[in-house]
Amino acid sequence: MKHISILGSTGSIGTQALEIVRGHRNELIVEAISGNNNIELLLQQISEFSPKLVCVYKEENAKRLSELVSADPCIKDKPEIVSGMEGLIKVAVYPGSDIVLTAIVGMIGIRPTVEAIHAGKDIALANKETLVCAGHIIMSEAARCAVNIYPVDSEHSAIFQSLQGNPRRSLDKIILTASGGPFRGRKREELEKVTLADALKHPNWSMGQKVTIDSSTLANKGLEVIEARWLFNVRPEKIQVVIQPQSIIHSAVQYDDGAIIAQLGTPDMKLPIQYAFFYPERPFLAGDRVDFFKLGSITFEKPDTETFKALALAYEAIETGGSMPCVFNAANERAVADFVAGKISYLGIADFIEKTIRSHKMVKDPGLDEIIRIGEDIMAG
C-alpha cells in the first residue's frame, strides 16, 4: 500500500495520476492534494478520493472551497484546507504520505520539493522547472536523506527504464528524443506571426498550457537536457537530442559496447506516472499498444537550433552552470507568461531568454534562497 501526496492534482499530470489511483484502489491512497484556480475539480476530487489535507494556493479560492466543502452533506470526512506556500509545504511533508508527485507547474515547486525530501518522502518528479533551477541542491539532498527520485517526464522515465539492470559505469550517452512540436521544419521568418492557438496544437501529446508552448519552442527539450544532467549525473555533451516525430521512442541510452536500449510506447503519460508509483513493478495499464505494422516507420532528424534557439541556449546555460540554468528557466517562465498575455511575440520568447542569460552574471553554487531570489527577480522584471 502506498500513500501519496499530489502537488497540482487539478492539472494534466495530476488528473492522470488520479486515473491511475482509480485503477489501483487497494494499492494507492491519496492523502493530500493541491490546486490553485480549479476549485470545482478539487471539490470533486475531495468527494471521490477523501484526502485528509487540501491546499489551494490562492487564499480567496481556499476560503471558497472551505465553504463548499462545509456545505456538502456528501463529504463526510471534511479535509483540512490550507493555502499559500505554507500550505503547499504541508501537502509535501504530510506525515501520512510515502511519496509526493510534484505535478505543479513552474519553479514555485522548489521549496515544497526540498521540504518533501527533508521529510524523507520519495519524489515522483514531473515538475522539471524545479530540478532545472535547483538540481545541484535537490540531488545532493535526496542522496543525503536517502530519498528516491522517480522521473515522471516521459523521456526521463524512458531513460530510467533503459538503465535498469545495466552497469551505470558503462553508460556512454543519453539519447533524448523530441517530437519537434507543431512547427518542426519551419524557419524563423515563418514563425513571426504564430498565435497562442497555433502554439497550443501539439501533434502527439495532450498536456498543460506551459509545457505545450515549451514543446513548440524546444525550450522544453532544453529544460529536459538540464533535467537529465541532474537526474542521471551525466555531462551535457553526453546528452544528444534527436527529433523523432512520431513520439514512439520515448528516449534511449547507449552503452560503451555500442548497444542502444530504448523504451517505446504510445504517447501516454499514464505509463511513466504509474511506473514512478509502482517501480519496479509493471502492473496492467489499459490503453493503446504500439502496432509496428500500422506505424510503418519511425524517423529521425537533427534539431534545428538556429530556428529553435532555446535548445542551444539551454546547453549554454548548463555548460556555464551555477545560477545560469535557473536564469534560463525563469526567463522562459516569464516569457511564456508574457506571450500568453499577448505582451510579446512568439519569437520574443527565445529572444527574451537570450537577452536575460547574456546580462546575468553567473553565481557559483547558489543556495536555495539565492536561487529563489534570482528567479523571482526575473519573473518580476
Q: Does 44 bind ligand NDP (CB under 6 A)?
A: no
* 275 CA to centre of own chain: 15
Contacts with Mg ion by CB under 5 A lie at 153-155
Q: List, in sequence order, the alpha helices (H) in the chain.
A: 12-23, 39-49, 59-71, 84-92, 110-118, 128-144, 154-163, 196-199, 209-217, 219-232, 270-278, 292-295, 309-320, 324-340, 346-359, 368-380
Shortest-Cβ-distance residue relative to ligand NDP: 11
129 binds ligand NDP (CB under 6 A): yes
DSSP letter, residue 165: T
Distance CA 165, CA 155 (A): 18
Per the structure block, which three cell numbers stand in for 295?
506505424
Q: How far is the CB of 220 from ligand NDP (least distance, A)?
A: 7
Query: With contacts defined by CB under 6 A, how many residues of the chain interact with ligand NDP?
Result: 28
Rule CB under 6 A: say whether 211 interacts with ligand NDP. yes
Q: By CB under 6 A, which span of 20-28, 90-98, 205-213, 372-380 interacts with ligand NDP?
A: 205-213
Which of 3, 31, 32, 35 is close enough to bind ligand NDP by CB under 6 A?
35
- Told to check if 208 binds ligand NDP by CB under 6 A, we report yes
Grid cell 517530437 is found at: 179
Contact residues for 74 (Cβ-Cβ < 8 A; gap 6+): 47
Q: Is 115 in the site for ligand NDP (CB under 6 A)?
A: no
> Nearer to ligand NDP by C-beta: 307 or 332?
332
Site residues (CB under 6 A) for ligand NDP, limited to 164-193: none
| 18-26: long-range contacts, CB 8 A cutoff, minimum separation 24 | 18/45, 18/48, 18/49, 19/270, 20/270, 20/273, 20/274, 20/277, 21/49, 23/285, 23/286, 24/277, 24/283, 26/1
Work out whether 132 is an interface residue with ligand NDP (CB under 6 A): no
Q: Which one among 30, 92, 103, 378 touches ligand NDP, defined by CB under 6 A?
A: 103
Q: Report if residue 157 touches ligand NDP, rule: CB under 6 A.
A: no
By DSSP bridging, strand 2-7 and strand 239-243 are unpaired
Establish whether the linkage from the previous residue to 112 is cis, with ω within 30° of 0.
no
Pull the grid cell for residue 256.
560503451
Per-residue binder mask for ligand NDP (CB under 6 A), 316-355, x = binder: ----------------------------------------
Cβ closest to ligand NDP, residue 59 vs residue 72: 59
- Which residue has cell 537530442? 241
Binding mask 259-288 for ligand NDP (x = CB under 6 A): ----------x-------------------
Residues that bind ligand NDP (CB under 6 A): 8-14, 35-38, 57, 103-105, 108, 126-129, 153, 205, 207-211, 269
